[in-house]
Amino acid sequence: MIRPKSNRQIIPWSLFFAALFILSLDYWNWDQPVGIGPLHLPVWIYGFILLQLLLAAGIYLFSRKFWREPSQSE
């Protein structure tokens, strides 16, 4: 595992994952009537799918940068 050289490398990732966490709570839609969207699914499902795709992309990019095998020169 490669450790970040400074906090400047890890802060954007921390903010990205924290934002996904906050958005996943969906507190602004509590006690709201459930709308039906395309394919007769609740509208919140589409937001959830988008968040999951963003999370998967974020984990993929983060792991490509920080969880690779260190080279011999490091």
Return the structure tokens found at 40.
């007769």
With H, G, I as helix, E, B as strand and everything else as coil, classify residue 42.
strand
Length of the chain (residues): 74
Q: What are phi and psi of 10, to 5 degrees?
A: -95, -25
Please give the structure tokens belonging to residue 32. Answer: 């709201």
Tens of pLDDT along the chain (74 residues)? 666 666 777 889 999 999 999 999 988 778 888 889 899 999 889 999 999 999 999 999 998 888 766 665 55
pLDDT computed for residue 18 by the predictor = 96
